[in-house]
A and B are shown apart, each in its own frame.
Chain A
Amino acid sequence: MKTLEQILAEHRFFRDMPPEYLRLAAGCAANKRFEAGQLLCREGSDADYFYVISRGSAAIEIFAPGRGPITIQSLGEGDMAGYSWLIPPYKYRLDVRAVEPVLAVAFDGKCLREKCEANPALGYDFLKRVTQVVIARLGATRLQLLDIYGKNLF
């Protein structure tokens, strides 16, 4: 059976991470399963955990009063959810909900933050990885806003 470190090393989010950092990260991680409909992150609550999805799909949502949840972006295998764990004030900014059963590696954000504070090189490595996710999400959101399939942008 594979160790958690080996599982992490195969994830896109952890690609090329030095083994000693993987070991530190794995020390704060556990496998977790979410049933369809369950929340991985809830807007406004403490960002105590972040997740790397191993199987299944989830949706980043905004809850609109009177309308219910609106999906902003879907997440699937290899995607990361809950980047607020690394960014003050460490509160989730959006909901993330399992659309179908999700198997994920769950990281204790507080545990990992403490390790990052104590080991700035580890912290910088994580910051770069999380920033890549944030930048990719921002880029995708910009394209969504552009309405690229509209008649004025062919």
Chain B
Amino acid sequence: MQDPMTPRRFRIARTLRETKDIFTWELRAEDGGEFAFSPGQYNMVYIYGIGEVPVSISGDAADRRKLLHTTRAVGAVTEAMRALKKGDMAGVRGPFGSVWPLDKLEGKDIVLVAGGVGLPPLRPAVYHILRNRAKYGRCTLLCGARTPQDIAFAQELERWRGRLDFDVHVTVDSAGPDWRGNVGVVTTLVSRAVFTPEKTAALVCGPEIMMRFAAAELANRGVREDSMYITLERNMKCGIGLCGHCQLGPVFICKDGPVFNYGMIKQWFLKREI
């Protein structure tokens, strides 16, 4: 087994510009091997000479030949990532962390709520659900972004929207006159979505404020808190529960998370003193 502290070398096979500050890498292992992961997991991505950051895996778990990461450039490491080109190298440690409990949710209606760069960590869950569509009830993706130009995976969303067995609603916080779609924060879509609350599970990923309000809206509709799952982000270093950097109350986000059951994590998530 690979030492979890030693990065594996990956080469960038393709880069895709999703929005002005979000980009996707398609990576191939230099050793020619495969990469296995489960939806919800992340890697520690190491940029030689700059630093290492946690980034969720945004590709299809069924395709082990390529590893996809979708990242928003916000600071030193992620800006350096954006500057890299096809053929450049990065180090990868992982996959780490907990997963969206998709097997456990079979038979339920699924509502996925994504805000901003919260969609990439949910995309592997969407791939899984669509591949196993008959195993789930009604499935809905509610997706929010700042403006129409900030919508990641726009073409893919359009394709998904064309499916009769998957409801996709996209909204933006603000838009110019040529935008024909929805305007308003993503939480406003919750009240309009069609699902049976008692048999619904929600997977929520985005900025913490958005997740808090989305959870409140879902609870308002009658979805149980222990049927909601959210992802948490904190500064990370080791990724394997050794350094304590990512501790939140009794849990380490790196290994107990990033995906948490909302009913379980709520008291720590909402605690202000931490």
Contact = CB atoms under 8 A, between A and B. Distances in A.
Please say whether chains A and B are actual partners in one complex.
yes
Nearest to A143: B185
A78 B207 contact: no
Interface stretch (B60-68, B133-141, B187-195): B187-195
B146 interface: yes
B185 A78 contact: no
8 contacts: A71-B183, A73-B184, A74-B181, A74-B183, A143-B173, A143-B210, A143-B213, A148-B209
Interface string A68-100: 111111101111000000000000000000010
Contacts of A77: 192
A153 interface: yes
Nearest to B117: A149
Contacts of B177: 67-70
B213 A139 contact: yes
A45 interface: no
Contacts of B173: 143-144, 147-149
Given A74-B184, A79-B192, A140-B188, 8 more contacts: A69-B177, A73-B184, A76-B192, A136-B191, A148-B116, A149-B145, A149-B173, A154-B207
B183 A73 contact: yes
Contacts of B74: 151, 154
Interface string B219-243: 0000000000000010000000000
Given A139-B213, A149-B173, A59 B183 contact: yes
Contacts of A71: 175, 179, 183
B116 to A, nearest CB: 4
B146 A147 contact: yes
Nearest to B183: A71
B53 to A, nearest CB: 13
Interface string B151-190: 0000000000000000000010111010111111101100
Given A12-B191, A69-B177, A154-B207, A149 B150 contact: yes
Contact of B207 (A57, A144, A148): A148
A100 to B, nearest CB: 9
Question: Is the interface on chain B under 10, 10 to 19, 20 to 34, or 35 or more residues?
Answer: 20 to 34
A143 B186 CA distance: 10
B115 interface: yes
Interface residues of A, number: 29
Quick one: which of B184, B191, B209 has the most chain A CB within 10 A? Answer: B184
Contact of A140 (B146, B184, B206, B209): B184
Given A68-B177, A74-B171, A77-B192, A148 B115 contact: yes
A146 interface: yes
A153 B171 CA distance: 19
B154 to A, nearest CB: 15
Nearest to A79: B192
A148 B185 contact: yes
Contacts of A147: 146, 173
Contacts of A139: 187, 213
Contacts of A150: 146
Contacts of B150: 149
A140 B183 CA distance: 11
Q: Which 7 A-B pairs have the closest CB atoms?
A: A149-B116, A73-B184, A74-B182, A71-B183, A149-B146, A143-B185, A148-B207
B180 A78 contact: no
Contact of A73 (B145, B188, B210): B188
A117 B19 CA distance: 53
A72 B183 contact: yes
A70 B175 CA distance: 8
Nearest to A68: B177
A153 B164 CA distance: 36
Contacts of B187: 139-140, 143
A78 B183 contact: no
A147 B145 CA distance: 10
